[in-house]
Structure 1
Amino acid sequence: MDARIERYLEHLRVERRVAPLTLDTYAAELAVLAAMAAEAKLSLQEVQPHHVRRWMATLHGQGRSGRTLGKTLSAWRGLFRWLGREGEVALNPVDGVRPPKSPKPLPKALSVEQSMQLADLQQPDADPVLEARDRCLVEMLYGCGLRISELVGLDAEASAQAKGYVDLAAAEAHVLGKGAKRRAVPIGSAALAALQSWLARRPALLRGDAAPLFVNERGTRMTPQQVRVRLKQRAIQAGVPTHVHPHMLRHSFASHLLQSSGDLRAVQELLGHASIATTQVYTRLDFQHLAKVYDAAHPRAKRNT
């Protein structure tokens, strides 16, 4: 490795007291820089921004993600900044170079079968009060597409102080979403039945404040973390082969609704998205689903083996 890089790593270790694992990462990234400069027959002083851009393109073509390349650039930028302070380079060739953008990963959604498996879980030996509450949690998340903050913010009935509440007569959940925007979401028949069952058993857990719809064993409003823990446990008990979290049920709600209706604007309204561009990610999920169906079923999709 170039002696200047060795001195820089020593500077990081001794003067900056960089952690050993971080130092190893820097060393690996700078070894890549040294190899690419050597292949181009360049010294570090001769490296220019167009060289760095070309090397980034090469690494990207080799499969490195934009996020990984951002870390690579950070390591290279730090080296050249130090060399500038040492008077060994006149400019930092990494300044102004940005990594390629990585595509945003698609939201993970359960299949319809997995969602039903979770929602229809029967646990006859469980505490009937907690079982009614946890079943209602699942039905409200999957059946209404609520955010976790919207779910735990629900009260059992309307009041001047309520952030959100359920209206059994209208079969609606009135929630306070992002940007303090209110919306009404229909409660389907399965979720409504689960809600009525939970409300009938809910007094057994109430201690003081009767407002919160979902309460924990101490009788206080459930926290998002408590909901996550209960949902994870329930998914394991249902045999769902993936880590299930509340937002995954929201994604599942949107994906399955779009698959059935094809009405993107309606899904946007139900989710409370300010921009339809946010909702359009589910069209990609929908296409992914259709592509899997095609690959599995269409005779022209099957390759000869």
Structure 2
Amino acid sequence: MNKEIKLFLNYLEKVRNYSDHTVKNYSADLKKFETFKQQKNFKNWSNLTQHDIRDFISGIRRAGISPRSLARLLSSLRSFYKFLNNEGYVTNNPTSGINAPKLNSLLPKAMDTDMVNRLLDFQPSSWGDFRDKAIAELLYSSGLRLSELCQLNTSDISLENRICRVLGKGKKEREVPIGALAIKALQDWYVYREKKLENSEQAVFINKSGSRISARSVQNILKKMSSKMGLPFVNPHMLRHSFASHILESSGDLRAVQELLGHANLSTTQIYTKLDFQHLAKVYDNSHPHAKGD
């Protein structure tokens, strides 16, 4: 891998505190770009022009990359050239003026309260069931990201104070409340967790071998749970989105939702105002005497 790319990835990890997953995405994008640079026989990054960037993007598009992935790749290039400029490797930025394709603004899928209640009505009968119920309850109760849930240690949760300490994106720490039902589910799970634990594992949620549970396992758990409860497929993100939309629906406090979700920018949280409007529109259609035009 090119020296400048290595320096940039190290900068993202050590200075910007980006997650391993994000750094890997940047690395994959820049490897493609480095291959293009080598194929075109460019000696330095400063030799590439805006025309070359467009040529690279066109080639990637022809390969069938999705608009979302293409937008991420272009963002990676912009950040890389900004770094190169700041470090004195280049004096130009050929990525400026190049726009990513417009993405369809897809609203996150949120479950209504009845659907959430049906899922969480799951009655555990084994150690795995008690763990699974606690996972689902905590995801909905506190709006955690999947990665945040998997990283939780027992020291991060105070059952007495009903608080969960979370390490979010950019390794930023925040505290979120835990609802009474999630507390009860965690208390039940801890009884079985202690029986299953054979080592000093600190993870809140463990697998059959007593090790920290993986993100893929949590996804499969919710898939099986939703199927068992006769519901369409439910994933961790849906529970987080449902948490956000239900809080906003009840309180109307967008700033509070931003803090609870751990969003750095309010603009990221504002998508939930669209979800809330969908709810209001549904209420209007069902309630207003002139809504249906009858």
Q: How much does 1:100 deviate?
A: 6.4
Structure 1 residues 97 and 149: CA distance shift in structure 2, 3 A: closer
Q: How much does 1:203 deviate?
A: 1.4
Mapping 1:34-183, distance limit 5 Å: 101-123=102-124, 126-127=125-126, 129-157=127-155, 165-183=156-174
Q: Contact (CA 8 Å) 1:209, 1:220: kept in 2 or not?
A: no
Counterpart amino acid of 2:263? Answer: H
Counterpart amino acid of 1:203? Answer: E
Match of 2:83 in 1: none
Q: Contact (CA 8 Å) 1:232, 1:244: kept in 2 or not?
A: yes
Match of 2:287 in 1: 297
The answer for unaligned runs of 5 or more in structure 1 is 1-65, 71-95, 158-164
Structure 1 residues 99 and 150: CA distance shift in structure 2, 3 A: closer
Match of 1:189 in 2: 180
Q: How much does 1:183 deviate?
A: 0.3
2: CA distance between counterparts of 1:214 and 1:135?
11
Q: Contact (CA 8 Å) 1:205, 1:216: kept in 2 or not?
A: no
Q: Contact (CA 8 Å) 1:152, 1:221: kept in 2 or not?
A: yes
1:86-145: CA deviation from partner (whole Å, max 9, x where unpaired): xxxxxxxxxx9978623320010111110111111225xx42x11111110001000000
Q: Contact (CA 8 Å) 2:201, 2:212: kept in 1 or not?
A: no
- Secondary structure in 2 matching 1:300: coil
2: CA distance between counterparts of 1:98 and 1:171?
45
Counterpart amino acid of 2:115? Answer: Q
Match of 1:252 in 2: 242
Counterpart amino acid of 2:255? Answer: R
Counterpart amino acid of 1:266? Answer: A
Match of 1:84 in 2: none
The answer for unaligned runs of 5 or more in structure 2 is 1-65, 71-96
Q: Contact (CA 8 Å) 2:139, 2:240: kept in 1 or not?
A: yes
Match of 1:283 in 2: 273
1:156-211: CA deviation from partner (whole Å, max 9, x where unpaired): 12xxxxxxx11122111101000110000111111111111111111122122331
Match of 1:227 in 2: 218
1: CA distance between counterparts of 2:259 and 2:157?
18
1:199-243: CA deviation from partner (whole Å, max 9, x where unpaired): 111112212233111001111100000000001100111112x22
Q: Contact (CA 8 Å) 2:110, 2:238: kept in 1 or not?
A: yes
Structure 1 residues 197 and 104: CA distance shift in structure 2, 3 A: same
Q: How many residues align?
A: 202
Which 10-residue stretch deviates more, 290-299 or 272-281?
Answer: 290-299
Runs of 4 or more, structure 1, over 4 Å off, are: 96-100
2: CA distance between counterparts of 1:97 and 1:213?
45
2: CA distance between counterparts of 1:223 and 1:97?
38
Q: Contact (CA 8 Å) 2:111, 2:239: kept in 1 or not?
A: yes
2: CA distance between counterparts of 1:213 and 1:102?
37
2: CA distance between counterparts of 1:170 and 1:99?
46
> Which of 217, 237, 260 is residue 208 of structure 2 equivalent to?
217
2: CA distance between counterparts of 1:173 and 1:99?
38
Q: Contact (CA 8 Å) 1:109, 1:252: kept in 2 or not?
A: yes
Q: Contact (CA 8 Å) 2:245, 2:272: kept in 1 or not?
A: yes
Query: What TM-score results when the alignment is normalised by the length of structure 2?
Result: 0.65
2: CA distance between counterparts of 1:113 and 1:290?
17
Counterpart amino acid of 1:237? Answer: K
1: CA distance between counterparts of 2:98 and 2:137?
48
2: CA distance between counterparts of 1:247 and 1:229?
13
